[in-house]
Chain A
Amino acid sequence: MATKSVEKYSSLEIIKMSLRNNIRQYTMFIALIGIMLIFSLLSGVFFTPRNLSTLFLQTAHIAILASGVVLVIVAGHIDLSIGAVVGLTGAIAAILQAHYGLGVLPAIIITLAVGALIGLWQGYWVAYRDVPAFIVTLAGMMIFNGLLLGVTRGETIATSSMFNKLGQDYIPTLFFINSPKDMLPHDTTIIFLVFVIVAYLWYELKRRKERITYGFDILPIKLFALKIALVISLITAVFLIMALYLGIPYSIVILMVIGSLYTFITTKTTFGRHVYAIGGNKEAAKLSGINIRQRTLWIFISSGILGAIGGIIYTARVGSAAASAGQGMELDVIAAAIIGGTSTLGGQGTIVGAIIGALVMTTLNNGMLLLDVGTTERLIVRGLVLLLAVWIDISSRKRDA
């Protein structure tokens, strides 16, 4: 094979093929843009940097938790205890600081360790005792809700302003203070943006060079440029929205790190590949020498740790821990993952999809709130959207077969 670009196909054909192969991801993305457009038309406030930044803030913990649950669902399990874990770990983080006088960092480290322990506990029952995850995490939900009530004694515990920054505040500016009114962009965010774009360009170019060395087909240069331009404008749009308000929130930085890490885990690591194989065909995975029990244990430990991160961010955003915190959150998280294309049967799902799914859910909520839609209708609409998303997914899969 020579180092030629794909001349077998015209550019149009390549675009068509790519669309067809990734139709699921694109559909959800287009749906998200569509929903945003509709809200922009209906409400003048929706498409402002201020509202969109708030929307991102509201999405952060759901998207982080959804990244973790993707692994769980892909492996063919479920985690119903997410909400309870968020509540419990959030309360632990608050109590460690309020009652035991621990600093923010030690409190966070201990909370993460508790999350890992919770995951170890649930993973042990699922992986080594063969109890279905549905039951283990349903039991977990009750147990952790009980513990939450026990540690908070029903009181609301306020968290320190330092800690709350994680959920509410933005990364500081370097050179000059901006304010949303003067439309001056937030400098650190712009620096961050440039850094991300450079990293992305470096990655794409390196990949292309490697493919040439291997003698594989590469995209024609025009398409390659088009693809890069599209991705960069998307990244820029997202960053500009935040730069024009108060900058990037800490929670979004955490989401970016976790989103990238989990995308790496699911697409580039042996562990990730094994998770998809276990969910796709457990028996084949076992006979291929995959240690299913150990992998399952780690999936739940990951879910527990992300639960704790979600708990920390959520508590910081609310500014206090309460016995009712996190209730029902697992449903939002699971819905986000599934709207984002994670198959309920296991074996399929992406992190990016789950993050988009989380955005869809919060956008609907946020937009309808702006339009003064009541809680009743909001719940109904979101339920219907979940139903619709899964239906579209299933019917498109049938067309595939």
Chain B
Amino acid sequence: MAEGWREVADARSRPWDRPRVRATGARGVWWGALLAVVVVVLLLGAGVGTQRADFSQAFLPPSAEHPFGTDQAGRDLLARSLAGARVSLLVGLVAALVSSVVGVVVGGLAGSLASRGGGVVDGVLMRLVDAVNALPHLVLGIVIVALLGPSLSSVILSVALTHWTTTARIVRAELLALQHVGFVEAAVGAGAGRWWVLSRHLLAHVAGRVLLATVLMVPHAIMHESALSFLGLGLPDDQASLGTIIEQSRTAVLAGHWWPAVLPGLLLVALSLAVFALAERLRPVSRGRA
């Protein structure tokens, strides 16, 4: 800068002008991706064979040998928690994918029909979205699992059937909003047909949003699954998820054994936060900025 420039003495004291939270750049994306890969590899690689029951070893507090301690059956809680986290993540991913597929189909149908005489279909689909949203998801999940019987597939179904509405709304809103955005109108004005606009402009935009919504849904799905498992409506002991492990620790807590509840729970929180962080890194990418 040339001579004589100075900063206004009290410039930094404006209430609205505190240092901005820095937007994460391209490097942040790679850190997020790396983090996610590490989490997944760790979970997939965690040994399952170490979960041997040995009742003489029950409720050992955390130590070097058992960093998470042992549970009521003397099983190593770290190995069990990692295996449980893997189940939780798997359920979360599959459920998020299934609900995204349902959401894209419903939202895409509603959004593309809304603008051309298909208003009735759009209306019915959106009322359906309202109706599903009008029910507390956990209660709906409880009803579904109760009626279908507890199993991996009914848990996934229960999550997917309650969570597709978010994606459906996003896809529909995005399609409708893009209809009047300058570059779409310009393409239409230049003689583009629906297929041209859809394949060359809309898909790329919607795909970014859907990807983000799907990733953001994973922690929701994990929460939902662990809540069901905690209520005893989720996964059985041999497929224990983190929710199941925490459920089994309830009586132990009353006896003063804190580790079977606290440590697997911390892992659950960490898992959700890691996926959230990944989603935050994906946010700029989903808007078309690297």
Does A associate with B in a complex?
Answer: no
